[in-house]
């Protein structure tokens, strides 16, 4: 049972192997295809007449050793019309246009895709000429008025988008656009014979190709023997307002088959009456009833009409309301006149027409009057909408509405500045009245001179004048006047009163205290002052700093900046800047040099004095230290200052000063003290000996002289005088080698003891003669 199936299995296996080999071969062939281009040709030519078979050939320029997977696409006017895939060894595609028509006209292009490589051909244009003549047919040639007939227009060999047209003789009746080669429609005609034909156009964007006209078909429409009739009474053209006007609409003819018949009486869009076979309308004739009346008959699809133009003469014309004067102001009289200018003299007289005046639909004249109405005083509430009515023979006519607006006299204007007023710069002023009807003429005056004028016509307009002042008080010279009624005087405003900004000038920066008195630790005020209008913004700067030190706004002409605890770091150059709405000014720079505080100066002086004192004390101590070593060996001796003196007494002192006075019994003596500093002992140290050798020792000796016996020998002198006698010891320090280089004598000369004084002088004089002059 299984054996018969085995050969089938083997066969299937062999077929699969063969297919795989073939497929591999095809793939190898495809992989080695050379695709270089695509061409498109139109056969037999690019221009043919209708009905010709056209071949569109698309050929791929490819070299291959086997089968290819190719995809061909044909385009007409960039619209795809045919696509086909080919897996054979063929290298071209044929697209046939059998019995080509005008609709096939267009540009053709071919695109080929082989092994994912796609190339396109150039476009070739095909032109097909000639259209089929259409054929017109109807479903019946004779029919009654109101019936519809079906008509056909056909062009069976054409294709594409076609527009069909139907004509009655040369008058176009109907058109329809279809994507087919025929069209069917239903038409209705009036009674009579009608010659019908059709034609069509093939749409080839952006143009179209027209066909020839079709055959003619004659249809006959049998009319209905009924007609509408309209009649108007009274007859003739002399219909006057007030007459009774009767209008009727009826049907004339054979009414045996009049089922569905209906008539309508209309005037314009107004339906006046309707009926089955007759319609009537009666009115009292007025002039506005004139016009065309129409009678319409309708039966099924049949519509017939008859018209009549009716002219109605006015009994009197529509009244006209006028006002005098044409412009009226409050508290002025208004005269209103209502009149009908025309009237039918054979029916009425002018006195037969009566009038009434209305304001806002309210009657101002209870009874009829002759048409002239005077409003005594025009006040604000007299404004409104006025109209009038004329009555005669029970006919009333209204005038057109007349708006009356009593004008308001202009009020006293106000002159104001609408921009900031700065001396020397232009600004604008506005002249405005709160009340007053437009137009208003405004005039600007400066004292007695007219500056400018303007007229305000619209509510949103304003009277604006540009001016410039040179002094803050010049604003008082300006006024403006307003006028809107030429019959009254102008109204003048007050003087211009506004805030005036004077530009800043003469800026200055002052320093308190004075520049020479600015010292450390004290307060310093930088005061900035200007001339001009406040508010003023003051700014203080220190040269070298971009940002201000301080800024403030003041209503005064000056302001100050306080610096507490001034220090040396505040020294520098300062200036200030002042700003108001007009300008900005800057002061001259001021240089501030902060002086040292007094207590610092005192401290420095005290320190200097202390240092000097310390230095002096140190020098004194050092000097005394050296001197003390020499004075340890010094002796102070008292001896006569001269060898010739027998009265002298010599006293020797050591380390101290001793005074020797004559005994009291000697009398009044003059005392002369002489100190003698002897050189140190030769046995002392070498340093002291060297010092003794370099400097002469001074010997101080105090000499006491007895008062002379004869007071007449010494002149009288007052006061006390001290005589200094310098006696210098010999350098060697030996008492025997005494050289009188100049001993110093101290003599107290008392004015009350002239003898003593004279004796001292004589002794001193004698000593100086006996001693040699010292050489320094």
Q: Please give the structure tokens belonging to residue 315.
A: 């009994």
Domain final residue, candidates 313, 336, 354 = 313
Whole-number Å distance between alpha carbons of 639 and 738:
12
Chain Cα centroid distance, residue 352: 73
Cβ 92 vs Cβ 59: under 8 Å: yes
The dihedral sign for the CA sequence 237, 238, 239, 244:
negative
What's the residue count for the chain? 776
**In whole numbers, what is the pLDDT of the chain averaged over residues?**
78
Same domain, 210 and 255: no
- Residue whose C-alpha is closest to residue 117's, from 167, 69, 154, 168: 69
Q: What SS3 state is found at 431?
A: strand
Same domain, 766 and 636: yes
Q: Please give the structure tokens belonging to residue 597.
A: 């505080």
Q: Is the pLDDT of residue 741 over 50?
A: no
Q: Is the pLDDT of residue 713 over 70?
A: no
Q: Which of 23-27, 61-65, 723-727, 755-759 has the highest mean pLDDT?
A: 61-65
Same domain, 13 and 41: no
Domain final residue, candidates 196, 222, 248 = 222
Same domain, 493 and 518: no
The per-residue pLDDT for 379 is 61
Q: Is the pLDDT of residue 618 over 70?
A: yes
Buried b (16+ CB within 10 A) or exposed e, 607-645: eeeeeeeeeeeeeeeeeeeeeeebeebbbbbbbbbbeeb
> What's the pLDDT band for 143 if we cut at 50, 70, 90?
confident
Q: What SS3 state is found at 181?
A: coil
CATH code, 355:
2.60.40.10
* Domain limits for position 110: 32-129
The dihedral over CA atoms of 606, 607, 609, 611, expressed in degrees to the nearest 10, equals 160
Residue found under tokens 């000499």: 703
Q: Is the pLDDT of residue 200 over 60?
A: yes
β-pair type (34-43, 54-63): antiparallel
Within a domain: residue 605? no
Whole-number Å distance between alpha carbons of 626 and 614:
18
Within a domain: residue 616? no
Q: In this predicted model, what pLDDT tens digit does every residue of 240-282 receive, in sequence order?
A: 888 899 999 998 877 666 667 889 999 999 999 999 889 999 9
Q: Please give the structure tokens belonging to residue 635.
A: 């002796």
The per-residue pLDDT for 258 is 62
Q: In this predicted model, what pLDDT tens digit does every residue of 432-484 receive, in sequence order?
A: 999 998 999 999 999 989 999 999 999 889 999 999 999 989 999 999 999 99
Same domain, 284 and 348: no
Q: In this predicted model, what pLDDT tens digit does every residue of 499-555 receive, in sequence order?
A: 999 999 999 999 999 888 888 888 999 999 999 999 999 999 999 999 999 999 999
Q: Is the pLDDT of residue 739 over 60?
A: no
Within a domain: residue 406? no
Within a domain: residue 455? yes
Over residues 675-695, mean pLDDT: 38
Q: Is the pLDDT of residue 592 over 70?
A: yes
Distances from the Cα of 404 to the Cαs of 318, 338, 452, in angstroms? 20, 15, 33
Q: How many CB atoms lie within 10 A of CB 164?
A: 27
Task: Please name the helix (run of DSSP H) or strand (run of DSSP E) that holds residue 757, with its range, or none.
Answer: helix 754-770
The dihedral sign for the CA sequence 665, 671, 673, 674:
negative
Same domain, 644 and 757: yes
Q: Please give the structure tokens belonging to residue 408.
A: 């308001």
Over residues 602-610, mean pLDDT: 88
Q: Which has the minimum average pLDDT: 21-25, 85-89, 138-142, 598-602? A: 21-25
Domain final residue, candidates 501, 521, 536 = 501
Same domain, 240 and 267: yes
Chain Cα centroid distance, residue 10: 95
Same domain, 689 and 749: yes
The per-residue pLDDT for 401 is 93
Whole-number Å distance between alpha carbons of 48 and 392:
87
Same domain, 714 and 637: yes
Q: What is the DSSP string of 24-42?
A: HHHHHHHHT-EEEEEEEEE
775 phi/psi in degrees, rounded to 5: -110, 120
Cβ 249 vs Cβ 295: under 8 Å: yes
Cβ 681 vs Cβ 737: under 8 Å: no
Strand partners, 59: 39, 92
Whole-number Å distance between alpha carbons of 158 and 640:
182
The per-residue pLDDT for 116 is 81
Cβ 49 vs Cβ 129: under 8 Å: yes
Same domain, 446 and 477: yes
Task: Report the number of distinct structural domains present in the chain.
Answer: 8
Q: Which has the minimum average pLDDT: 162-171, 308-317, 425-434, 638-647? A: 638-647
Whole-number Å distance between alpha carbons of 457 and 451:
20
């Amino acid at each position: 049972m299984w054996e018969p199936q085995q050969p089938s299995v083997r066969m299937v296996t062999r077929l699969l192997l063969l297919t795989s080999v073939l497929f591999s071969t095809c793939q190898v062939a495809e992989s080695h295809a050379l695709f270089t281009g695509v061409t498109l040709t139109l056969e037999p030519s690019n221009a043919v007449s209708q009905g010709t078979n056209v071949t569109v050939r698309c050929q791929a320029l490819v070299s291959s050793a086997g089968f290819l997977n190719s995809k061909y696409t044909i385009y007409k006017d960039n619209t795809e019309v045919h696509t086909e895939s080919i897996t054979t060894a063929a290298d071209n595609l044929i697209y046939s246009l059998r019995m080509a028509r005008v609709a096939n006209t267009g540009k053709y292009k071919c695109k080929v895709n082989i092994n994912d490589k796609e190339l396109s051909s150039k476009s070739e244009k095909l032109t097909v000429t000639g259209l089929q003549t259409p054929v017109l047919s109807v479903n019946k040639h004779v029919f009654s008025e109101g019936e519809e007939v079906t008509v056909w227009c056909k062009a069976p060999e054409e294709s594409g988008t076609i527009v069909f047209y139907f004509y009655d003789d040369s008058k176009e009746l109907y058109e329809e656009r279809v994507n087919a080669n025929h069209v069917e429609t239903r038409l209705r005609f009036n009674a009579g014979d009608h010659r019908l034909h059709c034609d069509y156009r093939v749409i080839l964007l952006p143009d179209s190709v027209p066909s020839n006209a079709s055959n003619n078909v004659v249809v006959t429409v049998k009319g209905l023997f009924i007609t509408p009739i309209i009649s108007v009474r009274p007859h003739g053209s002399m219909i006057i307002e007030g007459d009774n006007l009767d209008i009727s609409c009826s049907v004339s003819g054979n009414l045996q088959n009049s089922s569905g018949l209906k008539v309508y009486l209309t005037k314009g869009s107004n339906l006046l009456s309707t009926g089955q076979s007759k319609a009537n309308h009666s009115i009292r004739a007025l002039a506005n009833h004139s016009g065309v009346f129409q009678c319409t008959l309708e039966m099924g699809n049949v519509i017939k009409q008859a018209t009549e133009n009716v002219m109605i003469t006015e009994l009197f014309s529509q009244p006209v309301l006028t006002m005098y004067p044409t412009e009226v102001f409050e508290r002025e009289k208004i005269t209103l006149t209502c009149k009908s200018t025309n009237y039918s003299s054979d029916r009425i007289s002018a006195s037969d027409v009566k009038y009434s005046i209305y304001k806002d639909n309210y009657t101002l004249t209870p009874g009829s009057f002759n048409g002239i109405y005077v409003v005594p005083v025009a006040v604000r509430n007299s404004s409104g909408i006025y109209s009038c009515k004329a009555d005669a023979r029970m006919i009333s006519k209204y005038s057109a509405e007349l708006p009356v607006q009593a004008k308001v006299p202009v009020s006293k204007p106000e002159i104001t500045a609408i921009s900031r007023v700065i001396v020397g710069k232009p600004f604008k002023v506005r002249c405005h009245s709160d009340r007053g009807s437009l137009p208003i003429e405004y005039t600007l005056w400066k004292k007695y001179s007219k500056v400018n004028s303007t007229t305000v016509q619209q509510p949103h307009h304003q009277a604006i004048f540009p001016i410039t002042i040179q002094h803050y008080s010049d604003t008082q010279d300006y006024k403006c006047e307003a006028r809107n009624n030429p019959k009254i005087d102008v109204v003048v405003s007050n003087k211009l009163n506004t805030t005036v900004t004077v530009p800043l000038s003469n800026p200055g920066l002052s320093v308190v205290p004075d520049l020479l008195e600015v010292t450390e630790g004290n307060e310093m005020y930088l005061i900035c002052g200007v001339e001009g209008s406040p508010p003023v913004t003051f700014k203080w700067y220190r040269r070298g700093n971009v940002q201000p030190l301080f800024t403030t706004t003041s209503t005064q002409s000056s302001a100050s900046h306080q610096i507490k605890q001034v220090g040396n770091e505040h020294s520098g150059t300062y200036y200030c800047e002042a700003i108001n709405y007009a300008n900005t000014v800057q002061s001259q720079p001021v240089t501030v040099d902060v002086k040292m505080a007094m207590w610092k100066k005192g401290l420095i002086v005290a320190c200097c004095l202390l240092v000097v004192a310390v230095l002096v004390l140190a020098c004194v101590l050092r000097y005394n230290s050296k001197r003390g070593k020499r004075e340890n060996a010094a002796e102070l001796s008292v001896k006569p200052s001269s060898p010739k003196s027998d009265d002298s007494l010599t006293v020797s002192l050591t380390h101290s000063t001793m005074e020797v006075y004559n005994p009291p019994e000697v009398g009044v003596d003059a005392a002369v003290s002489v100190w003698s500093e002897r050189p140190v002992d030769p046995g002392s140290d070498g340093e002291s000996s060297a010092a003794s050798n370099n400097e002469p020792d001074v010997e101080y000796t105090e000499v006491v002289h007895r008062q002379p016996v004869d007071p007449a020998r010494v002149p009288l002198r007052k006061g006390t005088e001290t005589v200094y006698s310098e006696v210098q010891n010999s350098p060697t320090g030996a008492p025997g080698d005494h050289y009188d280089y100049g001993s110093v004598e101290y003599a107290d000369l008392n004015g009350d003891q002239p003898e003593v004084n004279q004796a001292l002088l004589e002794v001193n004089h004698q000593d100086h003669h006996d001693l040699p002059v010292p050489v320094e």
